[in-house]
A and B are shown apart, each in its own frame.
Chain A
Amino acid sequence: MKHISEINLQRLLDDNLSLVQKLICKHHLAKCDECAAKLEAVKTQRQQLLSIAKDLTRLQEAETAISKTSILRK
């Protein structure tokens, strides 16, 4: 049984597969626990990245604040 590639799982989540590809993927996911788990992992990873992105923005704001202080030595 050929598993769904990581890129096709990503495309499936974005609704960027052709109708035929989408049907093939859905059919496969219904009977393949491994790919179903992988799809869930991809979803979780995306959510984690978006959450990290918010903290990355806070880190950048903190870096800007530090650059306005005398903490960095010349």
Chain B
Amino acid sequence: MAFVTDPNLLADIKKGDNAAWNLFAKKYGALIWLRGSDYHLTPDEQEQLTQDVLVSFFKAQDNFEYAPEKGRFRDYLRQIIKNCIFQILRKRQQDSNNEEIQENTAFDENDDEAKQKREDEEWMAHVYSQALAELKRTVKPRKLQSFMMCRLQNKRPEDVAKFQKVSLATIYNDCNEVMEKLTELVKTLKDA
């Protein structure tokens, strides 16, 4: 629960600090946006969702009590996102005056398992994104590039070695070193 346990940031959030808002929005905004696309929201609705979740989160901070034994931040955020999605879909339904619930909406319970899977995958990508951002600060750019090209872009190590004008052994060492650090970071961030 790294975010909410930062006392300074928490205090800034409660004061309505714009920097705290932006920090949170940059960290979780894209994840919230993607959740909206999984529920087939329109781009305008996705923007609305992101705003709604951020506002809900900030409002909730007044009464928020840090209690890790009660659950993970991830689950807390997930519930806020889900509530906001349902509100948007209810509003859409009211606006369109439909008595029948449209297909491809969040109310399709048969689709719940697939949505849960997507949610887990997106959270994992979010964790890797945070971990890679951290590695950019601590690992040499060339080493990180080796890893990104080989392991994320699926380029052949020998091609990456030629591109970087280093030996093939260097590329394998880079990938190994970055993967070890990435695994450690992911482990600490995953269950936050």
Binary per-residue interface labels of chain A (1-39) against chain B in the complex, 1 for a CB within 8 Å, 0 otherwise: 000001100110010100000000000000000000000
- A56 and B180 CA atoms in complex are apart in Å by 19
Instruction: State whether A69 touches B47 (Cβ < 8 A).
Output: yes
Binary per-residue interface labels of chain B (141-172) against chain A in the complex, 1 for a CB within 8 Å, 0 otherwise: 00000000001111011100000000010001
Report the interface size for chain B: residues with CB under 8 A from the other chain.
Answer: 38
B133 to chain A, nearest CB (A): 11
Residues A66 and B172 in contact in the complex (CB < 8 Å), given A53-B153, A56-B125:
no
B residues whose Cβ falls under 8 Å from a Cβ of A:
18, 21-22, 25-26, 29-31, 33-34, 37, 43, 46-47, 50-51, 54, 121-122, 124-126, 128-129, 132, 151-154, 156-158, 168, 172-173, 175-176, 179
A residues whose Cβ falls under 8 Å from a Cβ of B:
6-7, 10-11, 14, 16, 45-46, 49-53, 55-56, 58-60, 62-63, 65-66, 69, 71-74
